[in-house]
């Protein structure tokens, strides 16, 4: 019988890779908490209608990509394809709007879309995202963009481009929509099939088409920027001025529309030169209509999501992230020594050290080899002689210096051991894992 494998489009993240994930998570967490964002965790599945109403039925996500199924109670359930709809549902359900002021939230976790798997595109993938609810200020738009930029920069990423656009308010967009349909209709038969289909249902999405002929036709299409009313225009200019004052470079791209229906005014994407076809690492924008659309009070909002798989592909090109070295490796052989070693390792951990206990029972020589490979600063050794005298050998792996210590004196040596580990790490220039 064949063994069972992970489903297509899903991946195991193994220990050798987990360092990248933990680094991204800790950098993001740190930056977000310093900007007063609080974490929110919402369920991974929701009622299907939340996404239909929140994301829009004419989008790719809702139209073709959702993992939707009937549960045993015959309810239609969907694995969340993105984070915003669930956060907004929670915001409404728990009356967070009534707390007044601005809510700065962030989330992280797996998302699910039925797409063709390829590099940087999976069926279960991960995002970290932010949502700022309750502020109509363009400064909120700029703040979230600045935070995304700070996270990516802190991780050391280069060759990133911020693409920026405004898609105005719903009236601007309605006017533009009509102009775009009027322009494209004479070319209808030359558009790619998807775009033909979108011409009436979701014409702005045609701007996103990858088809060459469609893109050629779009060259002379009207620009959304010519359809912004004075207020929308001012907002967009303010965001640009604020980005400039923060020293964040950007490029205005009037073709940039986002895949989800709920966006208004500012939309943006951060793309990398180093990712091939799936270049967008971070995407977001303002969505002033969504909270009301989902039955809540009128609440302006802005947010983004970073795709972690793509981010980690970039990090892996940059620098190896290795696990932290442990402090001590404990080697023992013979029954009484092994019993004492178990206690010794636990005592050291309780004193705050990181400790790996060799469980193999193999010859000392083999255990010493593993100690060397472990990256530990020092090795504790217990054999029959040590067990008998309630002592332990402590060997510093960088220098080979070795001393015998009474097991009972270990606790009083804690500070001195800590200092010696720091000294030995400072003196070691390589050779550890
Ligand atoms: P794309 O055009 O790449 O399909 P999208 O517009 O569908 O992106 P969003 O819904 O805005 O993407 O999601 C934000 C980010 O999440 C994307 O920029 C990307 O980094 C990541 N992402 C989206 N879908 C996937 C996926 N199937 N696999 C991995 N990452 C994804
Ligand atoms: Mg997509």
The residue extents of the domains of the chain are 15-169+229-318, 328-426
Ligand 2 centroid – CA 61 distance (Å): 7
Fold for the domain defined by 15-169+229-318? BirA Bifunctional Protein; domain 2 (3.30.930)
Fold for the domain defined by 328-426? Rossmann fold (3.40.50)
Is pLDDT above 60 for 433?
no
Cα–Cα distance between 344 and 308 in angstroms, integer? 40
Give the position of tokens 């290795």: 322
User: What pLDDT score does 58 carry?
Assistant: 77
The mean pLDDT of 31-58, rounded to a whole number, is 95
User: What is the DSSP code (8-state) at residue 63?
Assistant: I
Q: Which atom of ligand 1 is nearest to the CA of 310?
A: 20
328-426 shares the fold of 15-169+229-318: no
Region of residue 5 (left: phi > 0; alpha: psi -120 to 50; beta: else): beta
pLDDT band at 259 (very low <50, low <70, confident <90, very high): low
Residues in the chain: 433
The preferred substitution site among 280, 287, 310 for testing ligand 1, maximizing ligand atoms within 8 Å of CB, is: 280
Ligand 2 centroid – CA 309 distance (Å): 14
Cα–Cα distance between 415 and 348 in angstroms, integer? 12
User: What pLDDT score does 202 carry?
Assistant: 85
Name the residue at shortest CA distance from atom 19 of ligand 1: 307
What's the chain's average pLDDT? 94
Is pLDDT above 80 for 356?
yes
Q: Which atom of ligand 1 is nearest to the CA of 113?
A: 27
Ligand nearest to the CA of 123: 1
Is pLDDT above 70 for 168?
yes
Q: Is 70 helix (H, G, I), strand (E, B) or coil?
A: strand
Residues with CB under 6 A from ligand 1: 82, 113, 115, 120-122, 125, 127, 259, 278, 280-281, 283, 305, 307, 309-310
Region of residue 242 (left: phi > 0; alpha: psi -120 to 50; beta: else): alpha
C-beta atoms surrounding 84 within 10 Å: 25
User: What pLDDT score does 430 carry?
Assistant: 43
User: What pLDDT score does 405 carry?
Assistant: 96
| pLDDT above 90 coverage of the chain, percent | 86
User: What pTM, to 2 d.p., does this model score?
Assistant: 0.91
Is pLDDT above 70 for 133?
yes
| pLDDT above 70 coverage of the chain, percent | 98
User: What pLDDT score does 431 carry?
Assistant: 41
Is pLDDT above 70 for 429?
no
């Amino acid at each position: 019988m064949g063994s069972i494998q992970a489903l297509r489009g899903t991946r195991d993240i193994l220990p050798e890779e987990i360092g990248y994930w933990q680094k991204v998570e800790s950098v993001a967490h740190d930056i977000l908490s310093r900007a007063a964002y609080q974490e929110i965790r919402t369920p991974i599945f929701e009622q299907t209608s939340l996404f239909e109403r929140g994301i829009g039925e004419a989008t790719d996500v809702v139209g073709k990509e959702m993992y939707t199924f009937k549960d045993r109670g015959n309810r239609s359930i969907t694995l969340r394809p993105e984070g915003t709809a669930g956060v907004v549902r929670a915001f409404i359900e728990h009356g967070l709007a009534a707390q007044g002021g601005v809510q700065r939230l962030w989330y992280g976790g797996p998302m699910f879309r039925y797409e063709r798997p390829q590099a940087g595109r999976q069926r279960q993938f991960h995002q970290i995202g932010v949502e700022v609810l309750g502020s109509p200020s363009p400064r909120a738009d700029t703040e979230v963009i600045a935070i995304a930029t700070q996270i990516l920069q802190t991780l050391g990423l280069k060759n990133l481009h911020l693409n920026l656009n405004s898609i105005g308010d719903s009236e601007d967009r309605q006017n533009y929509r009509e102009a775009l349909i009027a322009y494209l209709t004479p070319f209808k038969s030359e558009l790619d099939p998807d775009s033909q289909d979108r011409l009436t249902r979701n014409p702005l999405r045609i701007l996103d088409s990858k088809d060459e002929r469609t893109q050629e036709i779009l060259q002379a299409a009207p620009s959304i920027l010519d359809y912004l009313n004075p207020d929308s225009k001012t907002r967009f200019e303010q965001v640009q001025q604020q980005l400039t004052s923060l020293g964040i470079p950007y490029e205005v791209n009037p073709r940039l529309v986002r895949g989800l229906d709920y966006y208004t005014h500012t939309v943006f994407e951060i793309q990398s030169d180093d990712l091939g076809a799936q270049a967008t690492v971070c995407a977001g924008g303002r969505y002033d209509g969504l909270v009301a659309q989902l039955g809540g009070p009128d609440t302006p909002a802005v947010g983004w999501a970073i795709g972690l798989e793509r981010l980690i592909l970039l990090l892996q090109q940059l620098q190896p992230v290795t696990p932290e070295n442990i402090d001590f490796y404990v080697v023992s052989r013979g029954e009484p020594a092994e019993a004492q070693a178990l206690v010794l390792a636990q005592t050291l951990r309780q004193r705050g050290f990181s400790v790996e206990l060799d469980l193999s029972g193999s010859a000392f020589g083999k255990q010493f080899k593993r100690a060397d490979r472990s990256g530990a600063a020092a090795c504790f050794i217990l054999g029959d002689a040590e067990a008998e005298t309630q002592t332990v050998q402590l060997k510093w792996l960088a220098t080979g210096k070795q001393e015998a210590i009474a097991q009972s004196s270990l606790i009083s040596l804690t500070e001195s051991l800590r200092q010696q580990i720091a000294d030995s790490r400072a003196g070691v220039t390589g050779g550890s894992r």
